[in-house]
Structure 1
Amino acid sequence: MSNKMLIIGISGVTCGGKTTLANELNQLLPKSKLISQDDYFLDVDDPRHIWISELNHINFDILSSLDMEKMDHDIHEMIRNKKRLESSNTKTNGLKKIRSSEELKNTTIEKINRTGLEVLILEGFSIFNYKPLRELFHLKYFFTLPKDECFTRREQRVYEPPDCPGYFELCAWPEHIKQKEEVENEVEGVRYFDGRSNNALEEVLCDIDSIF
């Protein structure tokens, strides 16, 4: 059995669908593990937080709001002694073979079971913006949404602490745009998903299937 590991990164806009996709993959794929960036937010009283003076509120949408060194350490502990797949084997072009969704799922699961491939899923709004992680990913996905749709979805979510009035306009959305532009300019091989589409899972499974 192989001890090779495939590392998938899922990032993008708040409320865009990245956590849903990560959880779907984790539940579907044998021998998969999931690490979420949200689990590494600093405590609200941590002095490393950056405050937005106009809002008297912490900026939770930047890397400094997270303990990224701890996340990086935990990831490397998880992948220790694992062989990385050759990156040349993981180029994707989005092409699909004609098959049903169920057939695609079953085929991918069968191939993972047969080869013993392990899958690590890393999910978070700025994982591609943390430079020490960039070289780890074999497959990279980034969710986008129009601003109005993103705002509508975020209003329906409950955060702790909750968003204060004006947080989306002054913080969450501008930080997302900065992060997206950095990814577009500096990170190669990223596939972009429209968060209003329901095809993301099938697209990722096609990419995984193409590796074998």
Structure 2
Amino acid sequence: MTYKKVLIVGISGCSSSGKTTLAKLTSEILPGSTLIHEDDFFKHDDEVPFDEKYQIHNWDSPEALDLDLFGKELVHIKKTGTISAELIHNNNMGDLSELNVNQATLKEISAKYSATFGDGDIKVVLVDGFMIYNNQDLASRFDVKLLIRAPRATLKKRRAARSGYKTLDSFWVDPPFYFDEFVYKAYAENHACLFENGDVEGALKKDVDIYDFINDDNTDINEALMWICDHIISMR
């Protein structure tokens, strides 16, 4: 099928911000949309940078990802609206059925989306990833750039509650120091350029074309989903 327009929507954030859960829910709500995950572009275990100080692999470094392949895939998607790479997501997330999404939200989003994209000539591709705005060339591939945020303490608590992560070749479990020394540190270092005074807990710079949403433990998931979908619909 040839599309009149292909919209590539980035849904990014630090690990445990809730970005993957929200991206997955959004893809299930929006008919005909496609979801891909930057996690599917992780390199093999032995290619991931090794930290000599801590004697572990650094999975949160940009170099842990095949960003060249990721960028080429985004170019292909923009041209065709289809996925060329064989992508099998490792699904490192909880049970979505446990989330409190109400029927009123689903109906409202569905009605808005159908009214705007009902003719099917526009393809929406959602891209979930933790390193997609830190690189200017990569960031330029996105028509909508959304950033899901949460306070550092909340991120750390959520990350600690996870049992681990499936990789291409094994299963990764965080050492006790990993969030502070790798996860959050890499996020802060690679995204400081987007924030006022380089403070990733503060405000985004006014000249960056990124919209942010605070997803802390008190956030209503219905509000978060509506926020994402309204930004997508506004790009019609």
Shift of 1:81: 4.6
Equivalence for 2:228:
204
Q: Is the 8 A contact 1:30 1:112 kept in 2?
A: no
Q: Is the 8 A contact 1:55 1:166 kept in 2?
A: no
Equivalence for 1:119:
124
Question: More displaced, 72-81 or 148-157?
Answer: 72-81
- Structure 2: gaps (5+ residues): 82-103, 166-170, 197-204
User: Matched residues in 1 for 2:120 and 2:75: separation?
Assistant: 22
User: Matched residues in 1 for 2:58 and 2:7: separation?
Assistant: 33
Equivalence for 1:169:
180
User: Matched residues in 1 for 2:160 and 2:175: separation?
Assistant: 11
CA RMSD of aligned residues (A): 2.1
- Please give the residue correspondences for 1:1-20 in structure 2 after superposition, counting only pairs within 5 Å: 2-20=3-21
- Please give the residue correspondences for 1:31-180 in structure 2 after superposition, counting only pairs within 5 Å: 31-46=32-47, 49-81=48-80, 101=105, 102-157=107-162, 158-159=164-165, 160-180=171-191
TM-score (norm: length of structure 1): 0.82
Q: Which amino acid aligns with 1:79?
A: K
Distance 1:79 1:128, change over 3 A: same
TM-score (norm: length of structure 2): 0.74
Q: Is the 8 A contact 2:50 2:56 kept in 1?
A: yes
The alignment-based identity, stated in percent, is 25
Question: More displaced, 104-113 or 65-74?
Answer: 104-113
Shift of 1:2: 4.9
Shift of 1:116: 2.0
Shift of 1:17: 0.8
Deviations 1:109-156 (A, max 9, x none): 342122521101111001111332222222111122222211111011
Q: Is the 8 A contact 2:148 2:215 kept in 1?
A: yes
User: Matched residues in 2 for 1:211 and 1:81: separation?
Assistant: 18
Distance 1:119 1:167, change over 3 A: same
User: Matched residues in 2 for 1:79 and 1:4: separation?
Assistant: 8
Paired positions, count: 193
Paired residue for 2:213, among 176, 180, 193? Answer: 193
- Structure 1: gaps (5+ residues): 83-99
Describe the SS at the equivalent of 2:189.
Answer: helix
Describe the SS at the equivalent of 2:54.
Answer: coil
Q: Is the 8 A contact 2:7 2:78 kept in 1?
A: no
Q: Is the 8 A contact 1:33 1:121 kept in 2?
A: yes
Shift of 1:103: 2.1
Deviations 1:86-127 (A, max 9, x none): xxxxxxxxxxxxxx6322332213421225211011110011
Describe the SS at the equivalent of 2:188.
Answer: helix
